Amino acid sequence: MSYTLINPATEAPMETIEHLSVEATDEAIARAKVAQKKWAALAPADRAMALRRFAAAVDADVENLAQLEVRNSGHPISQARWEANHVRNVLEYYSGSPERLMGKQIPVPGGIDVTFNEPIGVVGIITPWNFPMTIASWGFAPALAAGNAVVLKPAEWTPLTSIRLGELALASGLPEGLFQVLPGKGSVVGNRFITNPNVGKVVFTGSTAVGKQIMRGAADQIKRITLELGGKSANIVFNDADVAKAAATAPYSVFENSGQDCCARSRILVQRSAMDAFMEGFETAVKGVKVGDPLLESTEMGPLVSKAHLESVEKYLDGANVLFRGSAPSGPGYWFAPTVVLANGVNDRCFTEEIFGPIVTVHAFEDEAEAIEIANATEFGLSGSIWTREIGRGIRVARAVESGNLSVNSHSSVRFWTPFGGFKQSGLGRELGPDAPLHFTEEKNVFIPAD
């Protein structure tokens, strides 16, 4: 089985990627199991040094990785460079972890009691196509730091940067079998991570529908899982906010990566008395988003990832109340102009479903209580923004919105040194932040008597 990649900005066919079978996946997992034992037995400082060398290899390859992501995923080059640098930063950050997995010494009568953070073993990581290399690094860097081996299945459409990271890991001196990238179908390679008993934990990022399947499958072996799933996040603008700034920045909170972002603030809630002022500034800002050739430094938004995905996004415009649109190139490529829709009530599917494209839906609210009620009227809970000049309101609303990652008077993106993850059906567990390596360990308690 194989898959021919398509450049989403030109529709030109590119490399053909061979897909692994179930048998080849099992062989890779068996190699990982052997490599993990040796890796975990290394001195923590030696594991840390190996990860620093991996980070240095990524650093030397940033431009190449960025160019690969432009061709494979259509990300604007400036964004793709940020992503490649982010992978290096994540590796550097977690290369500080091996010597810091310290466990605890707990007071007990008659002896001492200590805890150890033991590696889980082999960790399977399944990634989506929207941010292929960054999301992969959120799993593999802390997992390796905690003494595990990693098998990584990239999305079928966007495997190139993951494959390159696998090569860089080996070239930097990481042991054979410790970090393997296994291109293939989710139903074959990804599913085998769930069913093969030698995989101790699965980290899945993708749709909520597949996340539920993973959770069901993991139950058979009580397999550890982390799930990072969908979102339908709210950008709440109060009438006491810097409305001009909220309007000018709103496009970049939802149209970045062409809206193919689980953190996209795809529902804008505006206090009714501020609606006219907000929409005036927002229209100017949306029409100013630079959509085009991802290789140009000035480009802010590229194409959608594939024809199939473009068709799925286009369907949302059937019957939608479109207010205005930005621009997009014509000709080859999976282009879709930034689009602003007025919600036909809170049950409008543009307002409730994760479109994962550059469509944002606007809805008015009367007061703080209604803003919170509408923001929480979703099965998702991943991110969100709150715009207000009143500090107390910023705090109250941030505490009341059922979501894992909020920012006040800003649209903060992911920071690798702070935790990231979702409430409700946006996921299970957290990635990133100082505790991430702990999520790739089992806590062991040992009592030693003093007599």
**Contact between 127 and ligand NDP per CB under 6 A:** yes
10: contact with ligand NDP by CB under 6 A: no
For the chain, helix (H) and strand (E) counts, in that order, are 14, 18
The one among 74, 119, 206, 251 contacting ligand NDP by CB under 6 A: 206
CA angle 378, 381, 387 (to 5 degrees): 95
Nearer to ligand NDP by C-beta: 151 or 382? 382
Question: Which of 350, 342, 343 minimizes the C-alpha distance to 318?
Answer: 350
Does 404 help bind ligand NDP (rule: CB under 6 A)? no
Please pick, from the candidates 6, 57, 126, 285, the single residue that binds ligand NDP as defined by CB under 6 A.
126
Q: Does 187 bind ligand NDP (CB under 6 A)?
A: yes
- At residue 319's C-alpha, the angle toward residues 345 and 344, to 5°, is 10
* Residue 368 three-state SS: helix
Residue 155 contacts ligand NDP per CB under 6 A:
yes
Backbone angles phi, psi at 220, to 5 degrees: -55, -40
Name which of 153 and 393 has its Cβ closer to ligand NDP. Answer: 153
Q: 238-259 burial, b for 16+ CB within 10 Å, e for fewer?
A: bbebebeebbebbbebbbbbbb
What one-character-per-residue DSSP string does 170-225 give? Answer: HHTTPPTTTEEE----IIIIIHHHHH-TTEEEEEEES-HHHHHHHHHHHHTTT-EE
**CB of residue 445 to ligand NDP, shortest distance in Å:** 32
- What are the two backbone dihedrals, phi and then psi, of residue 20, each rounded to the nearest 5 degrees? -80, 150
If one asks whether residue 190 binds ligand NDP (CB under 6 A), the answer comes out as yes
Give the residue nearest to ligand NDP (CB): 186
Check if 263 is active-site. Answer: no
Closest to ligand NDP by CB, 179 or 356: 356
How many Å from the N-terminal Cα to the C-terminal Cα in the chain? 63
**Among residues 127 and 271, whose Cβ is nearest to ligand NDP?**
127
Q: Does 356 bind ligand NDP (CB under 6 A)?
A: yes
Residue 128 makes contact with ligand NDP by CB under 6 A: yes
Q: Residue 72 interacts with ligand NDP (CB under 6 A)?
A: no
Beta carbon of residue 184, minimum distance to ligand NDP (angstroms, whole number):
7
Give whichever of 82 and 324 is closer to ligand NDP, judged by the CB atom.
82
Q: Looking at beta carbons only, is 47 or 164 nearer to ligand NDP? A: 164
Among 153, 223, 325, 439, binds ligand NDP (CB under 6 A): 153
d(CA 375, CA 197): 40
Strand 234-237 relative to strand 383-387, pairing: parallel
- Which residue in the list 156, 228, 256, 354 is annotated as catalytic? 228
Closest CA to 124 of 215, 31, 50, 198: 198
Quick check: 69 binds ligand NDP (CB under 6 A)? no
Distance CA(387)–CA(410), nearest Å, equals 8
When asked if residue 359 is in the footprint of ligand NDP (CB under 6 A), the reply is no
Of the candidate spans 92-100, 116-124, 223-231, 278-286, the one that interacts with ligand NDP by CB under 6 A turns out to be 223-231
CB of 430 to ligand NDP, least distance (A): 11
Q: Across-strand partners of 224?
A: 201
Residue 310 corresponds to which tokens in the numbers above?
Answer: 């473009």
Could you give the string, one character per residue 129-148, with x where binding to ligand NDP holds by CB under 6 A and - elsewhere? xx----x-------------
Assess 256 for contact with ligand NDP (CB under 6 A). no
Taking the complex as a whole, the smallest distance from the CB of residue 305 to ligand NDP amounts, in Å, to 9
Nearest to 33 by CA among 149, 183, 175, 197: 149
Per CB under 6 A, 229 contacts ligand NDP: yes
Q: Using CB under 6 A, which of the segments 101-109, 123-131, 287-295, 345-353 binds ligand NDP? A: 123-131
Q: How far apart are CA 137 and CA 142, in angstroms?
A: 8
**262 is a catalytic site residue:** yes
Q: Give least dist CB 353 to ligand NDP, A.
A: 10
Judged by CB under 6 A, does residue 19 bind ligand NDP? no
**Minimal distance in Å, beta carbon 118 to ligand NDP?**
26
Other C-beta atoms closer than 10 Å to the C-beta of 350 total 23
**What is the Cα–Cα distance from 40 to 145, expressed in whole angstroms?**
9
CA distance 322 to 341: 4
Residues of the shown chain interacting with ligand NDP in the complex, contacts defined by CB under 6 A:
126-130, 135, 153, 155-156, 185-187, 190-191, 205-207, 210, 213, 228-230, 262, 354, 356, 382, 422, 426-427
Q: Name the residues annotated as catalytic.
A: 228, 262
